[in-house]
Amino acid sequence: MSDHKRLLTTFFITSVILFAVFTLNLNNTVHAQSATTTLRGTVTDTSGAVVPNASMTLTGANGVRRLTTTSDDGAFSFEQIGEGVYQVRVEANGFRTAVRDDVQATTTSAPLSFVLEIGAVSEVVTVTAQRREEDLQDVPISVRPFSNQEIEDRLFTGTVDVLEATPNINVTAANASPNRARIAIRGVGTIINDADPSVGVYIDDVFVGSDGGFNLELVDTERVEVLRGPQGTLYGRNAVGGAVNFISNQPTNEPSGDIDLRYGNYNYFTARGTANVPVIKDKLFTRLTFAGTR
């Protein structure tokens, strides 16, 4: 065989081998691309209502981990994932966590449906009824706390509004004065004018010695704690019936302020405001409040 023919034969064989290798790689690439899929589904609660903003976590045996959240209509999707078995975890505030370990992801997979059950309330209510910060569930006395948010939601404007919303408490005007009030808790109170009260009232741990000037505007209050029953051990005398603590918001190191203006029927007008000013950074702060009603 001549050198020319031998060269042509070698070129032909090499070309066939390269074409075969290229075709094999192309087939593998196409197969790999076709082996991906999208996993879709919805998240609802036990009543059938959609659960938006739920955190979704998809984990695969090969180390794949994808994160997403549900949309406003409770829908979610994991796109471009390989076919296989995955674990899907769903978490949402106020609901128990749901986990599935055997979710099949294929091109023919049906949409998933997760139904979340209502979880236990995890909010911790902190009170200082026993002169120290404690979880309300650990306090062995009858306490009715009112948070700042509840005070705003229920449109409480005065100190008496809080007491009138508390069970087992009776509030009456003293000497027909709108700023004087007598408080009785569980039937224990004082009916004699200018006598020592049977229910202790404290504003930031300062004892209010008489019923005069008690019915004031409720402004910039962090919380109110109503303690029912004798509290003489921690509060001394004048707490036979119970005690009421008004705790104001504490000044902070950040400047801030707000103002609230309201106008109603019969020319009713009220104005409230708060200003938090750090006088000396990290050392001295002040907080100013005002309120007025016409």
Per-residue pLDDT of the chain (294 residues; tens, 9 = 90+): 555 556 555 655 655 555 554 455 544 444 444 478 899 999 999 999 999 988 888 988 776 778 888 998 999 999 888 888 999 999 887 888 899 998 988 888 889 999 999 876 545 677 787 878 888 878 888 888 888 888 887 878 888 888 888 888 888 876 666 667 788 898 888 777 667 788 888 888 888 876 655 677 888 888 999 999 888 888 887 888 899 999 998 888 888 898 988 888 888 888 889 999 988 887 898 999 988 888
Residue count (the chain): 294
Residue 33: the pLDDT is: 43
Residue 32: the pLDDT is: 42
From 90, 85, 88, select the one nearest 70 (Cα to Cα): 90
CA 183/CA 242 separation, integer angstroms: 10
CA 250/CA 223 separation, integer angstroms: 11
| Integer Rg of the chain from CA | 35
Q: What is the DSSP letter of 50?
A: B
CA 126/CA 139 separation, integer angstroms: 10
From 132, 140, 166, select the one nearest 151 (Cα to Cα): 166
* DSSP H/E element including 163: helix 159-164
Residue 29: the pLDDT is: 42
Residue 13: the pLDDT is: 62
Tokens, residue 254 = 């950040």
Phi, psi of 219, rounded to the nearest 5 degrees: -125, 140
159, 216 Cβ separation under 8 angstroms: yes
Residue 30: the pLDDT is: 40
Cβ-based neighbour number of residue 86 at 10 Å: 24
Residue 283: the pLDDT is: 84
Q: What is the DSSP letter of 233?
A: H
From 240, 232, 234, select the one nearest 195 (Cα to Cα): 240
* DSSP H/E element including 14: helix 3-34
> How many Å separate Cα 224 from the centre of its chain?
20
Residue 214: the pLDDT is: 66
From 173, 158, 167, 203, select the one nearest 185 (Cα to Cα): 167
Residue 9: the pLDDT is: 59
Residue 66: the pLDDT is: 85
Cβ-based neighbour number of residue 76 at 10 Å: 22
pTM > 0.85? no
